[in-house]
Structure 1
């Protein structure tokens, strides 16, 4: 799932005028042409490559904000602590389409959902992102971003701005504010009541399969456990079938050596630089961003879940 590492078909859009205007309900909502959307995406991709390759935190702050910035800064800090090589994958986001989000707050914050291809991966993969800026003169900052299959991209309305939902809106299987917790609990215990609220999507399978593979790999040394923690809801957007929830969660993956065994890191690995000894437990922490579709009735479907390692401890 992860195409961009720091360690170790286009969609047709309606061309909108280049102005910031009032929607019929009087709220301030960004209106932006497809060419301008692509320029926002190009700026982000080019600066992200430069920032991650050189670990330039100030440059990263010119293109990211909110939970995405927090996660990526933590990833950079970890790379520095491990003295990992300064490398990054360069890619672009072609064929970008932008969907302005209707403002309901009464302030000057504006939001934009984008969907794009990746230049560095297969054609059936898409980038889903949320940008925010303070007024028409502000720079767009990406506050959420994750990949998903083309078939999973929601059917966004091209003819009018997208409508955000209140975090506590009722009438669905779960309120938006509860979704990060439900996602974390479902991944931690798929057979629980909260786990059964979700469809059996390939995203959920991926988390289960990677844990199973890690456990098998580490079986000769000890046992591997995961613990999931919900993060914030980023936004909930009304879609035809219900709403799209974008949010965050974290998880720890802990390896505990059995009696008579110990954990070591490979001598040529970045981890060995920071942890050259032998250890009883190691814990890798990951920050993840997810997308889930909550229908008006029925099961929730997790359509994206993309993580970066943000910490490592050894005892």
Structure 2
């Protein structure tokens, strides 16, 4: 499966350390529009897949990979939850875009996007209305789990109206949902600049920051969001992030060429930490050789050992 940069939080005891590599390598790839099933049993979740005569090229985030077609069993559509979606509930902005109500009935019919109506609106040459129409289409595809289609629609909407905060914000939500949290920060921050008093924009920015591994920044965004519009679910996440920040102040780090292991004080031995890193590095080397590609930055692994009861 593909090696994609990620932050992985692991709760382990010495008897289950063999599962570390499963979490560290598998979790980052769980987000995507297409699933490639390899003949050796591996499963690759990709944003996009392109077939040629002899190869399969697939994209995960900003990275692309190529594998021989002879090693691929089949390709199917699918969208498992991303890293962000595993750690966070899916957040969908609540506020509608200006003009959405007027066009909703034309674009969405019986739960599907009416592409003919969408094309008709686009042909009229009104950028603002066209942008909202594509935004409505993107929302519908997003809610139907058709993330590749939703992405194209949102990008078309931003092409016609790059200053529309609702489109930019929902596009950021899509990026979070599909495992591209760091890229989502850029768009969520833009949405906040366009609509600084929007509770939705601030909430999405917090989700992007948290999913990308920036809990301190996320708490600041969420505090601003609930100050504008109280939300119990965001308050719970804010409380959770605060607890994690308090706990992480007690963490130390060990780093190898490809991994950054964060651990809590003396709760684990040097030998155990070395075994974890050795296991991760061995699997990393094997996968990098198989796929001929490596991630652009280190993979963060957080080691949390449970507190055992005393008798």
Q: The TM-score by the shorter chain falls in which range?
A: under 0.3
The normalised TM-score by structure 1 is 0.27
Larger relative contact order (CA 8 Å, sep ≥ 6): 2
The normalised TM-score by structure 2 is 0.27
Tell me which structure has the larger Cα radius of gyration: 2
Q: Which structure's residues are more often helix, by fraction?
A: 2
